[in-house]
């Protein structure tokens, strides 16, 4: 049988379809010819034929597309192929100068990485949805009085809001308490929220198991029921299904577990147990309805803004002030739940975050300009090649496309490396503890890069490409002349006038932004230093503290409380390592503070709203001396101030100034409460001490405070034990627990911390901003220096011939160096001036964040300017000196 | 200035020289494949021929196919510039390899 002379009909039909039209005639004829020859020789032919045809179809198409794409953009497929070509070219070209490529990618990555990490933090803190339905509609509120910590919501306000507001779809109230939970023989202390029936509904959360707290549970006298948190359920009940219906003892009261909350839910106050509040507020006397001891949650109706809600509750608060004299001077404000969770009651944190975002954007800008600068220098070196290729007929478009591909690759690689860097930087940011969130803390400080955040590096990589390409790309349009570039007289490295100008502008711009960052960072850092060294009024080092919980029923009588406290303090002092010990109702800067109105003897109330308030502390004798307060006048409290002794008080300087301006306070009389309420006795001032920072929220100002003897002043607040020792407080926990257990085994212990750690936590957000801004400013300075160094080296190198000539004709080297350094000085000064102007505009944003530093602090501005001048001289001096020391004979040969 | 030609272009030019009047694409591909002992793709041969033609090193004539099916085929022949280029490449090769024979052939 004769072998077939042509491939099968289908194969032939297929091949005709896939090859390029112009190849159909000659190329297919060639293939057919070979097919026949192979068949005749008895070799396999069809597979070979197909392989050759497919290869030809692809390869020939690539060739024609690349050729066409050089002239005009075509179909997406063709573009893809052309892009492939350019990318290959770009990779080859970038590999020629690996150091520049690596530096450019590294700097881009640094900029994009830090921007992505900060975006990730901002996203987690401000935008990432909380695990609650429509959490952006949830609000909370505060009672406010000028100059004081925001107070919680009072029952009076809650009832008024429930009766009179229209802007809330629902609302609920919670009260925080620390309770002892006993399951069998196992006892733990934990955070408990006593909630109204509507609280959890309003939050939009339903138990993962079991049932919710109903209005029947919430009636006074109803059976004790509790919902437990998911973590507690797993920890204490081993995640058992039969937990529902089991009985636990909460502060000694038998309580039935009716449900388990979903994992991660701990609103409010990082609670682990929720019980019904069981209060009928309308039956309570007014005094019990006034304290702002509750936490409100409310859900805004659809279409109602926060502003609308604030207008409404504001007018209700004014109405309450009219109805109840005790509410005079009080207002009420509603803020978003999220804002409260990140601790941003006054908006300072949001503003600080805004500044960080601005700073990181500026750093990114420096990075971009820096890389563009680097690439411009590289493009200048490539002038010769560019001119040759243009002369040989390469199209502008082709050269431009090649450059865009190069810069695109750098941008892409920088973006990818930046995203990687961010995955490492973001947890680092989280470890700086930007906020001290109390509920949903894990969600709010989970800075891991979220999918949405990846838009940031992608977008910035694109911007990077555009910025990088701008400067050098313009060089092609100018079409460098071959004759000029190749001529023997041309400088070894081409730097023409416009390019030099562009270089200078870019370096000056970098310096300007660095100056802006340095001034901002400098101001915030100084402010932070002032805050840290702010006079606390006591010595925190060596102090440690823990909270006691006295069983309510057992300690209803204050004399009994005072006796136990006295016994505990005496016991603590007997521990050898403890040098002093004391008890107070509130340690300084505690989250929850107790305040009191006060009335000065013989001073009439001037205005209705003029109701002075002081921080109210009830302390054991020896507490103040242990704290290390500064006694200005009189004496501190002592053991002789017993329940039967005359009632005395020690006041701070600020209180003395408010109550008795320019007069001696010692021996004067003052009492708790308003002028019209007479239930509290007059107290005699026996001592005046320096101001103590008692108030966490108003850390930046000194507030009035007074200290009353524990024996004389009834208080059912959980007292805090404070002791001073020379050893690590954690080593004393057992000894201290033993002392307390010996006094009464039913007294609970919690919240052990050192005073240093406690004080440091107050400035958490300030520290975060200061550290980050300082880091950004340092990075900005380093990058600007690098840019300056690159530009100066290049300019100097390109002028080497000229410098050599000048040295050869007898110019002193010093003068040559001087003239180049003058150029550097002009660029640096221009940068400093522009940066100073930018900073003077931008630093107004720091208003309200700065503490004891003015946004226009002249010393900071001067220091930054000096720093820039010094750094740029140092950076520029080395290349200039090297250029001037070249042997002219060698250079001019 | 003489045109620079790459290695594959040299091989294609040599194949045309060797084939004299019968230099079709298929014949060139087979010759190069045989001589260089490697896989040679017909698409690559056509691309190279187009490039050489554009450089003026080869020219092509279109002849009718001998079969009854009709159609045409392209026959390539070398131009003086092409002959010069390949001779040049050959001379370079000779110059560069002079005296290296023992070393090139030693294992």
Tally DSSP H helices, then E strands, for chain A: 28, 21
Cβ atoms of A544 and A720 within 8 Å: the answer is: no
> Is the predicted pLDDT of residue A495 greater than 60, yes or no?
no
Mutate to test the interface with B, among A34, A38, A61 (most CBs of B within 10 A): A34
Cβ atoms of A320 and A154 within 8 Å: the answer is: no
Q: Which of A27, A33, A58 lies at the smallest CB-CB distance from B46? A: A27
Give the DSSP H/E element, type plus range, for residue A61: helix A46-71
pLDDT recorded at residue A480: 61
Rounded distance between C-alpha atoms, residue A85 and residue A405, angstroms:
10
Query: A624-642, pLDDT tens digit by residue?
Result: 999 999 999 999 999 899 8
Structural domain for B44, as ranges = 7-98
Rounded distance between C-alpha atoms, residue A376 and residue A388, angstroms:
18
> Is the predicted pLDDT of residue A761 greater than 90, yes or no?
no
Per-residue pLDDT band for A619 (boundaries 50, 70, 90) equals very high
> Is the predicted pLDDT of residue A183 greater than 60, yes or no?
yes
Is A135 or A438 the better-scoring residue by pLDDT? Answer: A135
Query: A260-316, pLDDT tens digit by residue?
Result: 999 888 888 788 999 998 888 888 888 778 877 788 999 999 889 999 999 999 999
Mean pLDDT for A654-658 is 92
A833 contacts chain B (CB < 8 A) = no
pLDDT recorded at residue A493: 46
pLDDT recorded at residue A629: 93
Interface of B with A (CB under 8 A): 24-27, 29-30, 41-44, 46-47, 65, 71-74
Radius of gyration (C-alpha) of chain B in whole angstroms: 16
Residues of chain A found within 8 Å of residue B25, distances taken between Cβ atoms: 26-27, 29-30
Region of A55 (left: φ > 0; alpha: ψ -120 to 50; beta: rest) is: alpha
Handedness of CA A788, A790, A793, A798 (dihedral sign): negative
Mutate to test the interface with A, among B15, B22, B26, B69 (most CBs of A within 10 A): B26
pLDDT recorded at residue A688: 95
A45 contacts chain B (CB < 8 A) = no
Q: Which residue has the tokens 């020289």?
A: B17
Is A893 or A716 the better-scoring residue by pLDDT? Answer: A716
In angstroms, the Cα distances linking A355 to A763, A770, A773, A859 are 17, 11, 9, 21
pLDDT recorded at residue A484: 61
Return the percentage of chain A with pLDDT > 70, whole number.
92
In angstroms, the Cα distances linking A202 to A260, A513, A698 are 17, 47, 31
Is A839 or A474 the better-scoring residue by pLDDT? Answer: A839
Residue A395 C-alpha, separation from nearest chain B C-alpha, in angstroms: 18
Q: Within 13 Å, how many C-alpha atoms sit on residue A816's CB side?
A: 25
Mean pLDDT for A786-804 is 78
Residues of chain A found within 8 Å of residue B65, distances taken between Cβ atoms: 29
Contact yes or no for A26 and B26 at CB 8 A:
no
Rounded distance between C-alpha atoms, residue A316 and residue A270, angstroms:
30
Is B16 or A885 the better-scoring residue by pLDDT? Answer: B16
Tell me the pLDDT of chain B averaged across its residues. 85
Give the DSSP H/E element, type plus range, for residue A300: strand A295-300
DSSP conformation letters of A131-179: SSTTGGGEEEEEEE-TTSPPB-B-HHHHHHHHHH-SSEEEEEEEEEEEE
Residues of chain A found within 8 Å of residue B71, distances taken between Cβ atoms: 25, 29
Q: Indicate the range of A117-126, A740-749, A795-804, A860-869 predicted with least confidence.
A: A795-804
Which three-class secondary structure state does DSSP give residue A542? coil
pLDDT recorded at residue A479: 60
Give the DSSP H/E element, type plus range, for residue A487: none
Tell me the pLDDT of chain A averaged across its residues. 83
Residue B107 falls inside a structural domain? no
Structure tokens at A432: 């700086």
pLDDT recorded at residue A668: 93
Chain A residue at shortest CA distance from B31: A34
Per-residue pLDDT band for A606 (boundaries 50, 70, 90) equals low
Around Cβ A22, how many Cβ atoms within 10 Å?
12
Rounded distance between C-alpha atoms, residue A820 and residue A830, angstroms:
16
Output helix, strand, coil percentages for chain A, rounded to the nearest 5.
55, 15, 30
Rounded distance between C-alpha atoms, residue A183 and residue A235, angstroms:
12
Q: Report CA A209 to chain centroid distance, whole Å.
A: 35
Residue B8 C-alpha, separation from nearest chain A C-alpha, in angstroms: 15
Residue B106 falls inside a structural domain? no
Give me the count of residues in chain A. 893
Cβ atoms of A793 and A879 within 8 Å: the answer is: yes
Beta-carbon contacts of residue A706 (< 8 Å; ≥ 6 apart): A596, A598, A614, A615, A616, A617, A649, A650, A651, A652, A655, A670
> Is the predicted pLDDT of residue A72 greater than 60, yes or no?
no
Name the DSSP class of A696: S
Instruction: Quote the longest CA-to-CA distance of chain B.
Output: 55
Q: Taking the model in full, what pTM does it have?
A: 0.69
First-residue to last-residue Cα distance in chain A: 82
Residue A400 C-alpha, separation from nearest chain B C-alpha, in angstroms: 24
Size of interface A-B (CB pairs under 8 A): 58
Per-residue pLDDT band for A125 (boundaries 50, 70, 90) equals confident
Q: Which of A25, A29, A59 lies at the smallest CB-CB distance from B44? A: A59
Which three-class secondary structure state does DSSP give residue B54? helix
Beta-carbon contacts of residue A278 (< 8 Å; ≥ 6 apart): A194, A217, A218, A219, A220, A221, A222
* Omega before residue A268 within 30° of 0, cis: yes
Contact yes or no for A30 and B29 at CB 8 A:
yes
Q: What angle do CA A672, A676, A678 make, to 5 degrees?
A: 50
Q: Indicate the range of A643-652, A795-804, A869-878, B90-99 predicted with least confidence.
A: A795-804
Q: Indicate the range of A171-175, A528-532, A815-819, A830-834 predicted with least confidence.
A: A815-819
Rounded distance between C-alpha atoms, residue A523 and residue A551, angstroms:
49
Which three-class secondary structure state does DSSP give residue B68? coil
First-residue to last-residue Cα distance in chain B: 38
Structure tokens at A725: 């020792």
Contact yes or no for A59 and B74 at CB 8 A:
no
Beta bridge pairs of residue B62: B74
**CATH number of B82's domain:** 1.10.10.10
Q: Which residue has the tokens 């609000």?
A: A139
> Is the predicted pLDDT of residue A56 greater than 80, yes or no?
yes
Instruction: Give the residue from A202, A129, A148 showing the smallest Cα distance to A333.
Output: A148
| Interface predicted TM-score (ipTM) | 0.84
Residue B1 falls inside a structural domain? no
Per-residue pLDDT band for A473 (boundaries 50, 70, 90) equals low
> Is the predicted pLDDT of residue A474 greater than 60, yes or no?
no
Mutate to test the interface with A, among B42, B50, B61, B62 (most CBs of A within 10 A): B42
Residue B2 falls inside a structural domain? no
Cβ atoms of A808 and A553 within 8 Å: the answer is: no
Residues of chain A found within 8 Å of residue B47, distances taken between Cβ atoms: 59-60, 63
The b/e string for A705-723 (b: 16+ C-beta within 10 A; e otherwise) is bbbbbbbbbebeebbbbbb
Total domain count for chain B? 1
Q: Indicate the range of A83-92, A143-152, A467-476, A872-881 predicted with least confidence.
A: A467-476
pLDDT recorded at residue A168: 92
> Is the predicted pLDDT of residue B68 greater than 60, yes or no?
no
Q: What ranges do the domains of chain A cover?
A: 9-71, 146-329, 348-533+764-892, 551-746
Query: B39-66, pLDDT tens digit by residue?
Result: 899 988 998 998 899 888 999 988 877 6
Q: Which residue has the tokens 């017909």?
A: B42
Query: A376-391, pLDDT tens digit by residue?
Result: 777 777 777 777 777 7
> Is the predicted pLDDT of residue A682 greater than 80, yes or no?
yes
* Helices (H), ranges, A487-537: 497-532
Give the DSSP H/E element, type plus range, for residue A662: none
Cβ atoms of A732 and A571 within 8 Å: the answer is: no
Rounded distance between C-alpha atoms, residue A450 and residue A444, angstroms:
13
pLDDT recorded at residue A76: 60
Beta-carbon contacts of residue A726 (< 8 Å; ≥ 6 apart): A542, A577, A579
A146 contacts chain B (CB < 8 A) = no
Rounded distance between C-alpha atoms, residue A371 and residue A375, angstroms:
6
Residue B18 falls inside a structural domain? yes
Is A357 or A497 the better-scoring residue by pLDDT? Answer: A357
DSSP E strand stretches across A673-747: 683-689, 705-709, 720-725
Structure tokens at A264: 């991660």
Per-residue 3-state assignment (H helix, E strand, C coil) for A248-286? EEECCEEEEEEEECCCCCCCCCCCCEEEECCCCHHHCCH
Q: Within 13 Å, how many C-alpha atoms sit on residue A535's CB side?
A: 10
Return the percentage of chain A with pLDDT > 90, whole number.
19
Per-residue pLDDT band for A772 (boundaries 50, 70, 90) equals confident
Mean pLDDT for A735-750 is 84
| Max mean pLDDT range (A5-9, A75-79, A561-565) | A561-565
């Amino acid at each position: 049988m004769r072998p077939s002379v042509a491939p099968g009909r289908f194969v032939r039909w297929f091949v005709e379809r896939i090859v390029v039209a112009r190849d159909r005639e000659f190329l297919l004829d060639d293939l057919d010819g070979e097919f026949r020859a192979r068949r005749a020789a008895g070799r396999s032919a069809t597979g070979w034929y197909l392989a050759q045809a497919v290869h030809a179809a692809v390869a020939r198409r690539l060739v024609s597309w690349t050729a066409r794409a050089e002239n005009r953009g075509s179909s997406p497929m063709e573009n893809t192929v052309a892009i492939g070509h350019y990318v290959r070219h770009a990779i080859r070209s970038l590999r020629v100068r690996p150091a520049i490529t690596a530096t450019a990618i590294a700097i881009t990555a640094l900029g994009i990485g830090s921007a992505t990490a900060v975006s990730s933090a901002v996203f987690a803190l401000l935008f990432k949805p909380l695990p609650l339905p429509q959490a952006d509609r949830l609000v909370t509120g505060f009672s406010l009085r000028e100059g004081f910590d925001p107070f919680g919501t009072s029952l009076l306000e809650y009832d008024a809001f429930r009766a009179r507001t229209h802007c809330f779809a629902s609302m609920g109230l919670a009260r925080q308490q620390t309770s002892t939970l006993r399951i069998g023989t196992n006892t733990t202390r934990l955070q408990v929220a006593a909630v109204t029936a509507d609280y959890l509904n309003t939050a939009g959360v339903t138990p993962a198991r079991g049932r919710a707290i109903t209005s029947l549970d919430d009636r006074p006298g109803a059976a004790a029921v509790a919902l437990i948190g998911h973590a507690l359920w797993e920890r204490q009940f081993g995640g058992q299904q039969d937990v529902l219906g089991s009985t636990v003892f909460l502060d000694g009261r038998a309580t039935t577990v009716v449900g388990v909350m979903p994992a991660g839910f701990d609103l409010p106050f990082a609670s682990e147990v929720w019980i019904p509040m069981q209060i009928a507020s309308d039956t309570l006397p007014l005094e019990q309805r006034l304290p702002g001891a509750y936490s409100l949650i409310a859900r805004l109706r659809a279409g109602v803004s926060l502003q609308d809600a604030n207008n409404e509750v504001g007018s209700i608060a004014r109405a309450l002030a009219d109805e109840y004299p005790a509410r005079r001077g009080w207002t009420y404000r509603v803020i978003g739940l999220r804002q409260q969770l990140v601790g941003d009651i006054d908006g300072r944190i949001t503003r600080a975050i805004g500044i960080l975002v601005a700073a990181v954007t500026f750093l990114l800008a420096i990075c971009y300009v820096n890389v563009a600068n680097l690439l411009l220098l590289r493009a200048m070196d490539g002038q010769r090649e560019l001119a040759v290729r243009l002369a040989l007929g390469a199209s502008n478009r082709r050269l431009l496309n090649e450059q865009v591909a190069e810069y695109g690759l750098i941008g892409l690689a920088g973006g990818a490396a930046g995203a990687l860097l961010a995955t490492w930087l973001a947890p680092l940011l989280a470890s700086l503890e930007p906020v001290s969130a109390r509920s949903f803390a894990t969600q709010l400080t989970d800075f891991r890069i979220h999918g949405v955040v990846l838009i940031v590096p992608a977008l910035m990589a694109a911007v990077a490409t555009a910025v990088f390409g701008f400067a050098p790309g313009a060089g092609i349009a100018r079409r460098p002349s071959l004759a000029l570039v190749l001529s023997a007289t041309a400088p070894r490295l081409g730097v023409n006038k416009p390019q030099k100008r562009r270089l200078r502008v870019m370096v000056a711009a970098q310096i300007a932004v660095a100056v802006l960052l340095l001034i901002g960072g400098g101001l915030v850092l100084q402010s932070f230093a002032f805050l840290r060294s702010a006079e606390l009024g006591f010595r925190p080092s060596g102090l440690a503290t823990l909270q006691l919980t006295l069983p309510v029923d057992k300690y209803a009588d204050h004399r009994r409380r005072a006796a136990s406290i006295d016994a505990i303090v005496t016991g603590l002092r007997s521990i050898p390592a403890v040098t002093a010990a004391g008890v107070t109702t509130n340690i300084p800067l505690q989250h929850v503070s107790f305040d009191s109105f006060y009335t000065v003897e013989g001073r009439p109330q001037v205005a209705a709203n003029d109701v002075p308030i002081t921080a109210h502390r009830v302390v054991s004798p020896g507490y103040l001396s242990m704290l290390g307060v500064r006694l200005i006048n009189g004496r501190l409290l002592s053991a002789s101030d017993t329940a039967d002794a005359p009632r005395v008080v020690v006041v701070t300087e600020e209180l003395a100034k408010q109550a008795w301006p320019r007069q001696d306070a010692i021996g004067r009389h003052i009492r708790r409460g308003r002028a019209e309420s007479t239930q509290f006795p007059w107290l005699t001032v026996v001592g005046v001490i320096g101001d103590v920072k008692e108030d966490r929220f108003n850390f930046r100002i000194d507030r009035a405070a007074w200290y009353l003897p524990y024996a004389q002043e009834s208080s059912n607040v959980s007292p805090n034990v404070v002791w001073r020792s020379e050893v690590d407080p954690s080593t004393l926990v057992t000894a201290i627990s033993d002392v307390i257990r010996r006094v009464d085994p039913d007294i609970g212990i919690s919240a052990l911390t050192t005073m240093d750690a406690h004080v440091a936590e107050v400035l958490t957000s300030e520290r975060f901003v200061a550290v980050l801004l300082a880091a950004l400013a340092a990075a900005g300075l380093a990058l600007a220096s690098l840019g300056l160094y690159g530009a100066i080296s290049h300019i100097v190198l390109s002028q080497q011939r000229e410098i050599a000539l000048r040295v050869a004709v007898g110019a002193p080297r010093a003068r040559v160096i001087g003239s180049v350094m003058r150029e550097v000085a002009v660029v640096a000064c221009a940068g400093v001036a522009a940066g100073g102007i930018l900073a003077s505009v931008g630093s107004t944003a720091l208003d309200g964040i700065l503490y004891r530093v003015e946004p226009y602090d002249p010393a900071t501005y001067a220091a930054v300017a000096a720093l820039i001048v010094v750094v740029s001289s140092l950076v520029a001096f080395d290349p200039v000196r090297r250029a001037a020391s070249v042997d002219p004979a060698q250079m001019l040969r | 200035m003489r045109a620079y030609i790459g290695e594959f272009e040299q091989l294609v030019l040599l194949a045309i020289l060797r084939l004299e009047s019968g230099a079709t694409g298929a014949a060139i591909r087979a010759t190069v494949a045989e001589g260089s002992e490697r896989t040679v793709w017909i698409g690559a041969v056509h691309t190279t021929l187009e490039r050489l033609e554009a450089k003026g090193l080869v020219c092509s004539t279109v002849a009718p196919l001998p079969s009854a099916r009709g159609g045409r085929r392209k026959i390539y022949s070398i131009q003086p510039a092409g002959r010069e280029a390949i001779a040049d490449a050959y001379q370079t090769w000779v110059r560069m390899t002079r005296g290296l024979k023992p070393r090139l052939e030693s294992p």
